[in-house]
């Protein structure tokens, strides 16, 4: 008999009572026609359940979501490592114009400063008067190489400032993979700490090989208006080098593995059936379906593992 999916013991008891007392069983297994009992009951040739009934209210509560299967594209993607760096045009080294002792410093490491903001006051040994060093650009203080009382030489670097609103992502690519990368290729950047992603495109492929790693470096711009991406941080990147059309695709979240077969759950009303499928190409988001379902089938794309767990539980119960 096609099992019903409980959310907890109380819900199961209520559903069972309601089904037994107020309405006939609506599962295909309860139909009067027994001529094709495997198909009607949602069982495979071995008598194992292949379908589960989930009332719409419970489906909403547990987050079951469906979408029609249909045509799509499969991306040919290469995963590479990346490093966030500042733009050369967004960097500034703030230096002393004249030698002399530093009287006061006005900014600390990590401060956000505006263009023209005072950064240091220095007593000039030449004019015997104080002068002020200001920020040439707006940005964040990345380094401070000065201390009050220190004698600053002419041209000595006091601060390093960078505009962090836009960063480079330097993508290090090895061997023949570099042949596939070109300006314009879409890139998905993933932050290692929290898994946050951002979309961009390769802007340029640098002409020289990185000496230390012997890698080819491709660069993409990354919007950092929220300041959450930090220069010097390592990131993971998926570079899309081509898109291939597929007649039928589903999200990877729709796939489950049951009895050593790949299956997807197809919804028909309140009935969800596990259908074995043959797989083709895949990328990081979706997979091509070669056989097992048809275009337009309403496929479970979220919480499909809940349906799998319920069928496996029902199978274990039958085994005893």
CATH of the domain at 16: 2.40.420.20
pLDDT of residue 142: 95
Domains in the chain: how many in total? 2
Which residue, 162, 193, 209, sits at the end of a domain? 162
Verify that 122 and 92 share a domain, yes or no. Answer: yes
Locus of tokens 């530093």: 102
Residue 289 domain-assigned? yes
Task: Give me the pLDDT at residue 25, please.
Answer: 39
Of the candidates 74, 56, 72, 73, the residue with the CA atom closest to the CA atom of residue 64: 56
Residue 37 lies in a domain: yes
Domain boundary among 119, 139, 162: 162
Task: Answer yes or no: do 60 and 95 share one domain.
Answer: no
Low-confidence ranges of the chain (pLDDT < 50): 6-41, 320
Query: Tens digit of pLDDT for each residue in 264-312?
Result: 999 999 999 999 999 999 988 899 999 999 999 999 999 999 999 988 8
Range of the domain at 34: 9-73+245-319
Q: What is the CATH number of the domain that holds 157?
A: 2.40.50.100
Domain boundary (120, 145, 162) is at 162
Say whether both 140 and 92 belong to one domain. yes
Are 120 and 158 in the same domain? yes
Supply the DSSP string of the chain, one letter for each residue.
Answer: -PPBPPSSHHHHHHHHHHHHHTS---SGGGSS--TTHHHHHTB-TTS-B-EEE--HHHHHHHT-EEEE-EEEEEEEEEEEEEEEEE-GGGEEEEE-SS-EEEEEE---TT-EE-TT-EEEEEE-TTTSSEEEEE-SS-EEEEEE---TTPEEPTT-EEEEEE--SEEEEEEEE-GGGGGG--TT-EEEEEETTT--EEEEEEEEEEEEEPTTT--EEEEEEEE-TTS-S-TT-EEEEEEEEEEEEEEEEEEGGG-EEETTEEEEEEEETTEEEEEE-EEEEE-SSEEEEEESS-TT-EEEEESHHHHHHHHHHHHHHHH-
Task: Say what the pLDDT of residue 206 is.
Answer: 87
Could you tell me if 58 and 107 lie in one domain?
no
Predicted pLDDT at 30: 31
Same domain, 97 and 121: yes
For the entire predicted model, the pTM comes to: 0.62
Residue 66 within any structural domain of the chain: yes
In a domain, 235, yes or no: no
Domain co-membership, 42 together with 94: no
Same domain for 68 and 102, yes or no, is: no
The answer to whether residues 69 and 92 belong to one domain is no
64 and 14 in one domain? Answer: yes
């Amino acid at each position: 008999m096609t099992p019903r999916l409980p959310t907890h013991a109380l819900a199961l008891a209520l559903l069972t009572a309601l089904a037994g007392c107020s309405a006939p069983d609506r599962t295909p297994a309860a139909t009067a026609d027994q001529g094709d009992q495997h198909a009607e009951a949602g069982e495979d040739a071995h008598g194992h359940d292949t379908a589960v009934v989930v009332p719409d209210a419970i489906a909403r509560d547990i987050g079951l979501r469906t979408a029609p299967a249909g045509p799509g594209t499969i991306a040919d993607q290469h995963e590479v490592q990346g490093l966030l760096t500042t733009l050369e045009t967004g960097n500034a080294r703030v230096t002393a114009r004249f030698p002399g002792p530093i009287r006061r410093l006005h900014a600390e490491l990590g401060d956000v400063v505006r263009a023209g903001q005072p950064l240091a006051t220095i007593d000039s040994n030449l004019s015997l008067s104080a002068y002020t060093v200001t920020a040439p650009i707006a940005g964040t203080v990345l380094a401070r190489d000065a201390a009050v009382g220190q004698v600053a030489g002419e041209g000595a670097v006091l601060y390093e400032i960078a505009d962090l609103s836009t960063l480079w992502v330097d993508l290090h690519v090895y061997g023949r993979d570099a042949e596939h990368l070109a300006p314009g290729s879409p890139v998905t950047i993933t932050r290692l700490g929290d898994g946050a992603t951002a979309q961009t495109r390769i802007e340029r492929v640098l002409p020289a090989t990185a000496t230390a790693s012997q890698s080819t470096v491709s660069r993409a711009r990354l919007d950092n208006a929220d300041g959450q991406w930090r220069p010097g941080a390592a990131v993971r990147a998926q570079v899309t080098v081509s898109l291939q059309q597929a007649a039928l695709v589903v999200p990877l979240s729709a796939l489950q593995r049951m009895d050593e077969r790949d299956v997807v759950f197809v919804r028909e009303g309140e009935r969800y059936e596990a259908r074995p499928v043959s797989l083709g190409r895949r990328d990081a988001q979706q997979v091509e379906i070669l056989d097992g379902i048809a275009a337009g089938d309403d496929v479970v794309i979220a919480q499909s593992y809940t349906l799998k767990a319920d069928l496996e539980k029902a199978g274990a119960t039958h085994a005893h």
